[in-house]
Structure 1
Amino acid sequence: MGVVYKVVETSDVTDIELERILNETTDQGWTLDAMQFAMRDSSKRPAMAFLTFTRSDGN
């Protein structure tokens, strides 16, 4: 049995947007694997977020 990955990228790094992505994607059967942030040098706020999800490929 293999694993399938899905990466969702967003530049709207707010709690509301991250919650929306998490809820919608997990409702589709995906499991959160990791969340990473890309930072700007001039700001303490992340410029982008990358959410990685996994699920079984069914084989």
Structure 2
Amino acid sequence: MKKSIVLITGSSSWWKSKKYRRESFLILMRLKKQKWRLNKIEEIKPHPYSIDTKLYRKYHLFR
């Protein structure tokens, strides 16, 4: 069984980056407890004309 999720892993602001990384960590640890294992991580490139400063990553998981 496979699953892909997109999580926010950073921001241009240091305190927002810390907050988003912690939230992503908690989600990944919850999935790990449910026996999901990490297969691959993809960096999602931001759109050059977007004002959004969040950094996204796509996590590919399997059981």
For normalisation by structure 2, the TM-score amounts to 0.60
The equivalent position to 2:2 in structure 1, one of 2, 5, 12, is: 5
The reply on whether 1:52 has 2:49 as its aligned counterpart is no
RMSD: 2.2
Q: Deviations over 1:1-59 (max 9, x none)?
A: xxx1011112x32321221121011110111111112122368862x22111111xxxx
Which contiguous aligned blocks of 4+ residues in structure 1 show a shift greater than 4 angstroms?
42-45
Relative to total residues, which structure has the larger strand share, 1 or 2?
1
For normalisation by structure 1, the TM-score amounts to 0.63
Q: Figure out how many residues of one structure are paired with residues of the other and give that number.
A: 50
CA distance in 1, matches of 2:27, 2:57: 11
Identity %: 16
Relative to total residues, which structure has the larger helix share, 1 or 2?
2
